[in-house]
Amino acid sequence: MGSYNDMTGDVVGNGIEIPAYDAGRAARRDEAVRAAVEQGLLGPGSPIVGLLDVTGIRESAAALRAAFDAVVAPGTPVLHAFAVKATPLVPVLRLLREEGIGAEVASPGELALARAAGVGPEATVLDSPAKTPAELREALALGIAVNADNPQELDRIDALMRSAASRSPLGIRVNPQVGGGSIGATSTATATSKFGVALRDEGAREWVVRAYQDRPWLTRLHAHTGSQGIPLSLLAQGVAAAYTLAEEINRRIGRRQIDTLDIGGGLPVNFASDATTPTYAQYARLLSEAVPGLFDGRYGLVTEFGRSLLAKHGTIVARVEYAKSAGGRPVAVTHAGVQVATRTVYAPGSWPLRIAAHDGKGRPKEGPAVVQDVAGPACFSGDLLAEGAALPLLEQGDFAAALDTGAYYFAHHYAYNSLARPGVYGFAPKDAGDGAGGIAFATVREPQSLDEIVAESGGAHASSLTTLRAPRSR
């Protein structure tokens, strides 16, 4: 086993021994790519798909539950709310719900997805930084938990609470300002982050304490320190800051008004190999050491993990349409680029992806590693899934698989060049009953049709501009 680098979330060292759990996932993935080609999901006419490993998703959900079950006092209420933004797909939310996981939503759209998946109000948390009065009213009417981001939002909640009673558990999001990680764009606890009440600012702590003193219905406290690139130690510091504040508030009020801590998500994912590291168990143990008291049963807990639940269970597979050479470097032109891997294409230093080469039948490709570029279909030169990657030479008709893309990738389509959203399919081993083995697929999301692209691009309003009254001639 390689050693875990706390700063990058990467496993370092070569010849990493992959645990059985992770080796099983890699084998299932290879099998699924082959079956997708064999069953015609992938081919010349459908040159890109997203694949989701249902077995792996269930395993991760179980690992999350077990990790916290192992450290909390018996009977502690724990809600693991999946951050819907990581993989906003209704069947995924339904699968997670079946595995005992709720939903953290941050927009009317995400709330609608969670409701469509059958996630009830008791398992839903609303956290957006820009909630409108109408969204707040709906959330309070439904009884969904809400964390107020700032004093103005709390004013709006005050008005709603005066007008009608609500079952919603309510809290305030604080920014513990413990600092950022290696990726600025996903660090939410910097001094000037846009999220929450900046706890170390002049007068802010007193304001928060008074807000709770004045409102007996404020029973939760929320902090989310960041995503990918945040070292575990910094995540723990953010949780510790929230815990300390809750203790202070309850002490000063003289009763346990805050009964639940929402500790956010943000466990980093290892994109460098098939190893799952860090694990939920490691994080839960670290928290129990760093924040003694957090798990002793006095507080209910909410977590909001996103990427760590889904990333390693998704694969984008794209056909190599052409293989060429430029300036001495081989370039594989595939159908996966900026439209499905937006962060990687625009910020490759922060979001590198592993690419696996498969032959035209979907089998893992053998052969010496060749340094090559894996390009996407979009019309700008930076549309590269990987630059200078060393893998078996990709040839026309092969498939390039972008690994660990189950969160914040194919579910986050970017409509550059009007490229269609690819179909997304879940896979699982066929019922072993008949002994035949093999892989079964289920549709998670249909590929987008050309008619849909036209409709979403103003197709119904084709002559709206030409019939708009012309400016008066001078």
Ligand X SMILES: *Cc1c(COP(=O)(O)O)cnc(C)c1O
Question: Closer to ligand X at the Cβ: 121 or 406?
Answer: 406
Two structure tokens written together for 70: 């192992």
Residue whose C-alpha is closest to residue 353's, from 334, 366, 367 = 334
Q: Minimum distance between the CB of residue 224 and ligand X, rounded to whole angstroms?
A: 4
CB 353 within 8 A of CB 403: yes
Angle 347-351-352 from CA coordinates, rounded to 5°: 110
Question: Closer to ligand X at the Cβ: 218 or 267?
Answer: 267
CB 39 within 8 A of CB 298: no
Strands 3-4 and 11-12, sheet pairing:
antiparallel
Q: Minimum distance between the CB of residue 146 and ligand X, rounded to whole angstroms?
A: 12
Q: In this structure, what DSSP letter does residue 226 have?
A: B
Q: Minimum distance between the CB of residue 238 and ligand X, rounded to whole angstroms?
A: 11
Sign of CA dihedral 289, 294, 297, 300: negative
Adjacent-strand bridge partners of 81 = 102
Q: Minimum distance between the CB of residue 445 and ligand X, rounded to whole angstroms?
A: 20
Question: Closer to ligand X at the Cβ: 128 or 339?
Answer: 128
Q: State the angle between helix axes of 108-116 and 90-98 in degrees (0 to 180), rounded to the nearest 10.
A: 60
Question: Closer to ligand X at the Cβ: 104 or 135?
Answer: 104
Q: Minimum distance between the CB of residue 209 and ligand X, rounded to whole angstroms?
A: 22
Among all residues, whose Cβ is closest to ligand X?
306
Question: Closer to ligand X at the Cβ: 8 or 372?
Answer: 8
Residue whose C-alpha is closest to residue 303's, from 247, 261, 259 = 261
Question: Closer to ligand X at the Cβ: 276 or 334?
Answer: 276
Angle 133-408-53 from CA coordinates, rounded to 5°: 120
3-state secondary structure of 336: coil
Question: Closer to ligand X at the Cβ: 86 or 353?
Answer: 86
Q: In this structure, what DSSP letter does residue 203 have?
A: T
Residue whose C-alpha is closest to residue 294's, from 252, 245, 251, 257 = 245
Question: Closer to ligand X at the Cβ: 83 or 294?
Answer: 83
Q: Summarize as ranges the residues that interact with ligand X (CB under 6 A).
A: 83, 85-86, 104, 127, 224, 227-228, 264-267, 304-308
How many whole angstroms separate alpha carbon 376 and alpha carbon 330? 14
Q: Minimum distance between the CB of residue 264 and ligand X, rounded to whole angstroms?
A: 5
Strands 260-262 and 300-303, sheet pairing:
parallel
Q: Minimum distance between the CB of residue 194 and ligand X, rounded to whole angstroms?
A: 11
Q: Minimum distance between the CB of residue 84 and ligand X, rounded to whole angstroms?
A: 9
